[in-house]
């Protein structure tokens, strides 16, 4: 007896319809790794980036190799950011050497040298020339008697010789041979010396360097 043909169920026919095929295929692709055959997890993990790069889903990542050139940048030793050298400002003692002039019993010109010597030339005021003559040259030695970086460094001046000798002797008898001073100012314009014992202050105008007068 011939078998009756089995009627296909409505559900089976619905699965064979184009919309249903697309839906089922999409679901399967989502569950099975975008339509690819299911692979062990370890292999899928290692091969997925390559597939993504091949499909243009992500930019390739380059790993540096030992052959790559490496450039190291360092701060320049002369650059402002790394230059720690500081230039120390000259002290009053450093600025002491030079040639100065002032009016006192005539025109006096004092040249102070860095080596601890000094020379003072005096064009004597006519009122006093009858006592000491018209000109006197005095050789002086000076030394620092305090710390060089003191606020007002102390210096000691001693007149050691002079010409004419008779005039030098007359002057040193009147004013003495030695003086102690505090340097209050020493710059490109003036030299200010102060004697704290008798509150005497002398202001000298700078007119040149220590080489101007020998």
Dihedral sign (CA 115, 133, 169, 173): negative
Domain map (residue ranges) of the chain:
11-54, 98-212
Q: Say what the pLDDT of residue 35 is.
A: 39
How does DSSP assign 90-126, residue by residue? P-TTTT--EEEEEESSEEEEEEE-TTSEEEEEEEE-G
> Which of the two residues, 80 and 207, has the higher pLDDT score?
207
Query: Which residues lie closer than 8 Å to 64 by C-beta, 6 or more apart?
Result: none
Q: Which CATH architecture has domain 98-212?
A: Beta Barrel (2.40)
pTM: 0.58
The average confidence (pLDDT) of the chain is 74
Cα end-to-end distance, the chain, whole Å? 150
**pLDDT for 68-111, tens place per residue?**
544 444 444 555 544 556 677 888 999 999 999 999 989 999 99
What distance separates the 2 farthest-apart alpha carbons in the chain?
172
Q: Is the pLDDT of residue 213 over 60?
A: no
């Amino acid at each position: 007896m011939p078998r009756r043909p089995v009627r296909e169920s409505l559900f089976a026919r619905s699965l064979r319809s184009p919309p249903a095929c697309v839906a089922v295929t999409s679901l399967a692709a989502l569950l099975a790794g975008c339509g690819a055959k299911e692979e062990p997890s370890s292999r899928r993990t290692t091969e997925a980036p390559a597939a993504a790069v091949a499909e243009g889903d992500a930019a390739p990542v380059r790993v540096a190799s030992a052959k790559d050139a490496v450039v190291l940048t360092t701060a320049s030793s002369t650059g402002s950011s790394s230059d720690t050298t500081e230039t120390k400002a000259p002290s009053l003692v450093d600025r002491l050497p030079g040639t100065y002039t002032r009016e006192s019993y005539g025109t006096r010109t004092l040249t102070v040298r860095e080596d601890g010597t000094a020379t003072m030339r005096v064009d004597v005021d006519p009122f006093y020339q009858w006592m000491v003559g018209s000109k006197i040259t005095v050789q002086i030695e000076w030394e620092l008697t305090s710390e060089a970086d003191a606020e007002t460094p102390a210096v000691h001046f001693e007149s050691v010789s002079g010409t004419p000798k008779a005039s030098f002797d007359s002057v040193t008898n009147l004013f003495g041979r030695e003086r102690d001073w505090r340097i209050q100012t020493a710059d490109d314009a003036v030299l200010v010396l102060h004697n704290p014992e008798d509150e005497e202050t002398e202001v000298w105008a700078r007119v040149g360097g220590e080489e101007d007068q020998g």
